[in-house]
Amino acid sequence: MADQATLDLIQAYITENSVVLYMKGTAEMPQCGFSSIVVQLLTELEVPFKIVNVLNDPNIRNGIKKFSNWPTIPQLYIMGEFVGGCDIVKEMYQNGELQALLKSKQILAA
């Protein structure tokens, strides 16, 4: 089970960074197809983002699932808000919702 210190750390990280992707592997070398897809989409949109490689820390890997009440990874946070996993991010990208969200948060130029 995730301890409070881990949950606090997750909260601090998503508060301090506009776009955070919890993923398996790194942006350069994703270790899972779902993580890879989200990296590709963010890269294509030229969104600056921070990643957390959950494979480096079992506390974070389990903690993020509890934090978001979401059982799978990747998980995308924008301005401290949980956006979704791969399926949701992909669907939002395809219908333009993701771009609109990033513009409304002034992460992308309108």
Partner 1 sequence: MAITASEIKKFIQAAIPDATLTIEDLAGDGDHYAVHVISPAFASKSRIQQHQMVYEALGGRVGEQLHALSIKTSVPPVTPSLTIVESES
**Quick check: 94 binds partner 1 (CB under 8 A)?**
no
Cβ closer to partner 1: 71 or 96? 71
CB of 99 to partner 1, least distance (A): 16
Q: Which of 1, 69, 109, 110 binds partner 1 (CB under 8 A)?
A: 69
Binding letters toward partner 1, positions 21-50, x by CB under 8 A: -------------x----------------
Helix axes 58-68, 4-16, angle to 10 degrees: 80
Instruction: Say how far apart CA 96 and CA 103 lie, in whole Å.
Output: 11
Which tokens is 56 given? 């480096």
- Residues that contact partner 1, how many (by CB under 8 A): 15
Binds partner 1 (CB under 8 A): choice among 13, 47, 50, 65: 65
Q: How many CA atoms lie within 13 A of 28 on its CB side?
A: 0
Q: Please count the other Cβ atoms lying within 10 Å of the Cβ belonging to residue 59.
A: 16
Greatest Cα pair distance, the chain, in angstroms, is 42
Question: Applying CB under 8 A, which residues contact partner 1?
Answer: 34, 65, 69-73, 82-88, 91
